[in-house]
Structure 1
Amino acid sequence: MAFYRRLGDIPPKRHTQHRRPDGGLYYEELVGEEGFSTDSSLLYHRHIPSAIVDSQPWEPPDPATVANHPLKPRHLRLHELVPGEEWKALDVVTGRRLLLGNGDVRISYAVAGTTSPLYRNAIGDECVYVESGTARLETAFGTLHAGPGDYLILPRATTHRWVPTGNEPLRALCIEADSHIAPPKRYLSRYGQLLEHAPYCERDLRGPDGPLVVADEGETEVYVKHRGRGPGGISGTVLTSPHHPFDVVGWDGCLYPYAFNISDYEPITGRIHQPPPAHQVFEGHNFVICNFVPRKVDYHPLAIPVPYYHSNVDSDEVLFYCGGDYEARQGSGIGQGSISLHPGGLPHGPQPGAQERSIGVEFFDELAIMIDTFRPLELGAAAGAAAEDPGYAWTWNVEETGGLRR
């Protein structure tokens, strides 16, 4: 998005000499999208950013998926993925567990307690939502401090690492695009400013502190995920640079990682139930990200505040339940740390009895992240029996009295 920032030491004019105290040149790097035709930033390095001394294969966490067949809704309990204190030895990059994916987006979950390797996703942007715990996200642009409720947007090919802080596990939902992730176009002016009807604005976005310049640590490995012939068309390489990549003395531009906390999202409400696009926060190619936050609900005298049943025929719907009590799913087994998948081809909506219970309710205390995809999602390795609730698909099949229909 076209929101200009500037940090550190840069020359007055781009693409001109910028010299070190010893008289040598800093090395200017343009980081830009879509072939020089959209947002970019200029970074000034102490060392040549393209230099490498080694390249070795790396196998990213299992990217293979299988079809959701036979078709059914699913409920995954993410807090069961990492047992005991296993999280202490895991990091947010190599410890990701793939839940769902297609050619446009991959959804993973990480529970981490140790620093990740330096990492660069060369396939697409990443949006990481912090469910709980705290971390320091170190990038070539500087540092972002992350805590519960933070979205971290990382542009494609941003070199970074996750450093958990505190004594609790860092729990994160990782959304990896095959494209860029940005605010919805309808929220933006033709020049890229967030408009008055948008549910957040530039004041709510946190850019990096820095820039982050480290002492010259010599040869440094960077794990790179990129397109290739591996499962899902994904491959990995460990590139070794002769110098640490966090050698940026200054940068400016409109392309950089940033943080946005979900508590700063101002919900759009109405007299009757608002459709999911009213809750949208970001979008990528062939998918959208929405959030359902604590809010005043429908105030028409005959309103039914929970959603109506719907067949969103072009989408698969994923919901990650990360706080409060999600009204429409009461009685289904859904709880904190759950993910539900409602695939296209099946109507979906509130659990039996939820509509009557919601009548007259004025406020929903719920927190959930929704990802709608416009191509079918397949199941990753982490969506197996250890995490899945096998009874979820049948929880709508009840009589009004509450008895299970056979």
Structure 2
Amino acid sequence: MHSSTITHSDPYKYQSGFGNHFSSEALPGALPIGQNSPQVCPYGLYAEQLSGTAFTVGRAGNQRTWLYRIHPAAMHRPFEPFLSIQNKVIGNFDTNNTVTTPTQICWLPFEIPESEPLDFVTGLCTIGGAGDTALKSGLAVHIYAATESMDKRAFSNSDGNLLIVPQQGRLDVQTELGPIMVAPNQIAVIQRGIRFSVGLLDGPSRGYILEVYDNHFELPDLGPIGANGLANPRDFQTPTAKYEHTSDSWEIVNKYQGEMFAAQQDHSPFDVVAWHGNYAPYKYDLANFNVINSVSYDHIDPSIFTVLTCKSVHPGTAVADFIIFPPRFEVQQHTFRPPFFHRNCMTEFLGLIHGEYEAKKDGFLPGGACLLSTMTPHGPDTKTVEIATMHELLPRRICEDSMMFMFESMYQLRLTKWAAKHKQRDHNYYKSWEGIPIRFNPDKI
């Protein structure tokens, strides 16, 4: 079995599977038997249902979890504006607070301001997005750059589901349903409304976030691939119950319609002693991805590398796909093997977790990013083209010690002014395609 690029042990306890109905209790007998909300729950707990879909969604797609907790989550003071992060995170991508361009955009690694105390929440910044959180339609792309752990502060997102991609530093993610450790080369998904707090295990940390407003992430349909391949359900891990019973002062930060609010309460939000259901956060190690690829000819469309998808109402078209480009063998014959030159009806946002991207050897670096908008031409850079058209087509390993990912969406993203004017934006990115040799000769086939 493949191993992650991070070798630190993970002492947390998980349940395996994707979309399962899980159950977990931190005290024996804490889960009620036969009834979700009895008049008096075991241990004097309160029953609370967390609904991730409408009550009347069909059984196959219905998502909800019953929590058995010490305090009802409603026990907090009123929410007030959380001013320390206003205007860094947005949820409405109209023309007043964003800009747009069809130009190919690349950012050098986003800096971690180590002299500034930032946790996961205050270190959030929106790069771009589309749609409107109030209409539950669209998505956003964010980065986080944190220098300290969240201290007596929890975060909850009312706008959508978060797919977190750490690039530097392991994250100790305490959720209401239990703790998760997520390292670079792993991902975590935390659904709408679930409260969580992030601790930094290796000092300053940086990463990417995909937020979807419309729907939930699910495994892609495999079709002719058959029953096995890509991301296997058994490799997804959901936490087990672990609770705190304290009378400390806590701050609950809530993202609602793209704005940040905070409420104070006199107990830990992580006081869930037991739970059961299928609406729960999870993690996945990208090293476990089972790559499907061509063994004859042609560079296959990148959809074969889809880990998770958030489907739209249009069949076969995603609100967002999470796609990776892992280590693999390359054996195609009579084929230009790098990603082909391309214009796409989808929008592509790419990030590099570690290593080197196969289609751009210079400039695209870990911690940086690239945005290729709808129908904007893109493809391998000059250096890659020259090498790929000359080397012998022998079987070989590619992307060894590398992991690049892509957020692909049917939406056209608008950039925040922060991202468009960021000092790390590479304004010479267009030069990647300068100097590509023109070999056309009408007299020679």
Tell me the TM-score normalised to structure 2 length.
0.79
**CA contact under 8 A between 1:216 and 1:244: conserved in structure 2?**
yes
Partner of 2:32: 11
Match of 1:311 in 2: 343
AA of the residue aligned to 2:41: R
C-alpha deviation, 1:399, in angstroms: 4.5
| Aligned pairs for 1:52-201 within 5 A | 52-59=76-83, 60-61=85-86, 62-63=88-89, 65-69=97-101, 71-79=102-110, 81-83=111-113, 85-86=114-115, 89-103=117-131, 104-116=138-150, 117-166=153-202, 168-187=203-222, 196-201=227-232
**Does residue 58 of structure 2 align to residue 34 of structure 1?**
no
Q: 1:236 to 1:261 in 2, by over 3 A?
A: same
**1:21-63 deviations in Å (ceiling 9; x for gaps):** 4xx4x21111122212211111101122222233212244523
Shift of 1:155: 0.7
Which of 319, 326, 348 is residue 357 of structure 2 equivalent to? 326
Question: Which residue, 288, 294, 302 being the options, matches 2:327?
Answer: 294
Q: Pick one of 26, 47, 55 that aligns with 2:71.
A: 47
Take 1:187 and 1:241, find their aligned partners in 2: how far apart are those partners?
46
- The Cα of 1:150 is off from its aligned counterpart by 1.4
- Separation in 2 of the partners of 1:154 and 1:354? 37
Does residue 389 (structure 1) correspond to residue 426 (structure 2)? The answer is yes
Q: Tell whether the 8 Å contact from 2:171 to 2:182 is kept in structure 1 after alignment.
A: yes
Give the fraction of aligned pairs with identical amino acids, expressed as a percent. Answer: 20
Q: Distance in 1 between the 2:172 and 2:215 partners?
A: 23
Match of 1:249 in 2: 273
Once the two structures are TM-superposed, the CA of residue 241 in structure 1 deviates from its matched residue by: 3.2
SS state at 2:274 partner: strand
For residue 82 of structure 1, report the CA deviation from its aligned partner.
2.8
236 and 195 in structure 1: CA distance in 2 versus 1, 3 angstrom threshold: farther
5 Å matches for 1:355-374? 355-358=385-388, 359=391, 360=393, 362-365=396-399, 366-374=402-410
> 2:443 is matched with which residue?
none
Contact 1:96-1:108 at 8 Å conserved across structures: yes
Displacement of 1:143: 0.4
Runs of at least 5 residues in structure 1 that lack an aligned partner in the other structure: 189-193, 228-233, 402-406
- Equivalent residue pairs, number: 379
Deviation at 1:134, TM superposition (A): 1.4
Displacement of 1:216: 2.3
Q: Which amino acid aligns with 1:367?
A: M
Name the aligned partner's letter for residue 342 of structure 2. H
Q: How far apart, CA to CA, are the structure 2 residues paired with 1:238 and 1:67?
A: 29
Per-residue deviation, 1:292: 0.6
CA distance in 1, matches of 2:358, 2:77: 55
Normalising by structure 1, we get a TM-score of 0.87
Question: What SS is found at the alignment partner of 2:79?
Answer: strand
Partner Cα separation in structure 1 for residue 47 and residue 199 of structure 2:
27
1:191 corresponds to: none
The reply to whether residue 277 of structure 1 matches residue 303 of structure 2 is yes
Question: How big is each residue's C-alpha offset from its partner over 1:165-206, in whole Å with a ceiling of 9 and x where there is no partner?
Answer: 13x322221112213342244149xxxxx9723412232112
SS in 2 for 1:236: strand
> How far did residue 144 of structure 1 move?
0.5
1: distance between equivalents of 2:329 and 2:185?
20
Instruction: Give the structure 1 partner of residue 235 of structure 2.
Output: 204
Identify unmatched segments of 5+ residues in structure 2: 1-17, 91-96, 132-137, 313-318, 439-445
Aligned AA (2:183): G
Tell me the SS of whatever aligns to 1:310.
coil
- Residues 98, 35 of structure 1: CA spacing in aligned structure 2 closer, same or farther, 3 A cutoff? same
Tell me, in whole angstroms, the C-alpha distance in 2 between the residues paired with 1:253 and 1:347. Answer: 45
Query: Structure 1 residues 387, 14: closer, same or farther in 2, change over 3 A?
Result: farther
Q: How many Å separate the matches in 2 of 1:138 and 1:201? A: 25
**Which deviates further from its counterpart, 120-129 or 384-393?**
384-393
Q: What does residue 230 of structure 1 align with?
A: none
Q: Provide the C-alpha distance between the structure 2 equivalents of 1:39 and 1:205, rounded to a whole number of angstroms.
A: 17
Contact 1:27/1:49 (CA < 8 Å) preserved in 2?
Answer: no
Match of 1:400 in 2: 437
Structure 1 contact 306–328 (Cα < 8 Å) conserved = yes
